[in-house]
Amino acid sequence: MDLNDAPEEIAFRDTVRAWLREHLPHELADRGLGYDHYSREDLMRWHRILAAKGWIAPAWPEEWGGTGWNPVQRYIFEEECGYAGAPPLIPFGLAMCGPVLVRFGTPAQKQRFLPRIYNGDDFWCQGYSEPGSGSDLASLSTRAVRDGDHYVVTGQKTWTTLAHFADWIFCLVRTGGAGEKKQEGISFLLIDMRSPGITVRPLELMDGGREVNEVFLDEVRVPLEQRVHDEGAGWTVAKFLLGHERMNTARIGTSRRELERLKAQAAREIKDGRPLIEDPRFRDKLTRLEVELTALAITNLRFLDQLRGGRAPGPEISMLKIRGTEIQQRLTELALMAAGPLAQSVAAVGEAPRDFDLFTAGLAPRYCNFRKTSIYAGSNEIQRNIIARMALGL
């Protein structure tokens, strides 16, 4: 296994980096670098810029707008976007529902939904977690009862990211009783958020943001043709989708960018008459974190090498989610130490000059926000259980 970029991959990285330098709007990059909240228009503006270039859905089949890039090129693209401070590409349509429709959707479903996801005409969210049913997702209780050519859906979803922006939600619902396994009797539905009976209520997070929501479904009528795959086969779809979700949680490019900014801040911050980066304890923590990030990048390259050879990663893909999110959290902890009292500053990033110290703007809220990374997409405790049972056979 060769972990070094081939000459053509180096050239591809240079191409992506140069294009981002020219086309990523400064105000969007600054909003990310300053840990500010994005509006729906911010997110969709960047989506449409990439769609116009033809780079919005690299992993999709070429017939639906995919780039034809190999797994390494897709990784390089994601890494460079993160490193440049580009707004996140909202994964619910592009990286979750889209691949699900490509794999399990009917021709009519593909024609109806995939072009609109690609062009940014529809904003999607994910209806998985429920009160009392998060990490143990198979215990969900939202029910869909068949009524002629519709399902009638009643229940509640929670921690629904960006549901207040969304036009559509894909949901796991219970359409039948659980059999020997509680994963049985679950179906996967696509639901229009404008349907009568849907109520969205924001939840305020520790950082003051309201990116997550409760979604209440009160006898919402959903046409049968908006069920993906067979009735009762939703768990098969869910497992496929969660593999895509966990592959995207490592955020190595973003972590590398934050590590460089952290080093620069530690070199500026004076403690006891010398730069913080010269403090042995801080330097030890910083060095250990850099080594772990390098190890994570190499692990990610191993999975990419498997994909390059045509073999999909197995349950061990959970390692990326565990280590990636833990590194993100530790970066925010060290950043607080490096910024000192300045970490409490919250600036209007969009109104700040270009030379404003974006490292300290909103750093404390970012620390609070990143407490969630080890919980979403399946808590890290659950991921360790998956590795133990399915990869190690324990």
Q: Is the confidence at residue 30, as pLDDT, over 70?
A: yes
Contact call for residues 336 and 367 (beta carbons, < 8 A): yes
Superfamily of domain 124-233: Butyryl-CoA Dehydrogenase, subunit A, domain 2 (2.40.110.10)
CB burial of 191-226 (b: ≥16 within 10 Å; e: otherwise) equals bbbeeeebebeeeebebeeebbbbbbbeebbbeeeb
CA distances from 277 to 118, 124, 254, 341, 356 (A): 45, 43, 21, 17, 22
User: Which of 272, 284, 278, 151 is closest to 221 using CA atoms?
Assistant: 151
Which of 16-20, 164-168, 311-315, 348-352 is predicted with the least confidence, judged by mean pLDDT?
348-352
pLDDT at 362: 74
Q: Which of 245, 292, 316, 333 is catalytic?
A: 245
Residue 326 annotated to the active site = no
More confident residue, 394 or 374: 374
Q: How confident is the model at residue 317 (pLDDT cuts 50, 70, 90)?
A: confident
Taking residues 88-117, report their average pLDDT.
95
**Can you tell me the mean pLDDT for 96-105?**
95
Q: What is the pLDDT of residues 210-221, one digit of tens each?
A: 899 999 999 999
Task: Note whether 124-233 and 249-391 share their fold.
Answer: no
Average per-residue pLDDT for the chain: 88
More confident call, 62 vs 309? 62
Examine the pLDDT at 203 and tell me if it is beyond 90: yes
Q: In sequence order, which residues have a C-beta less than 8 Å from that of residue 1 and are 6 or more positions away?
A: 302, 305
User: Which CATH number applies to 249-391: 3.40.50.970, 1.20.140.10, 3.40.50.11030, 3.40.50.2300?
Assistant: 1.20.140.10
Q: Are 77 and 16 in contact (CB under 8 A)?
A: yes
CA distance 250 to 299: 11
Domain boundaries, the chain: 7-89, 124-233, 249-391
* Per-residue pLDDT, 348: 45
Asked whether the beta carbons of 142 and 217 are under 8 A apart, the reply is yes
Q: What is the pLDDT of residues 344-383, one digit of tens each?
A: 655 444 444 433 455 666 788 888 888 888 888 778 888 8
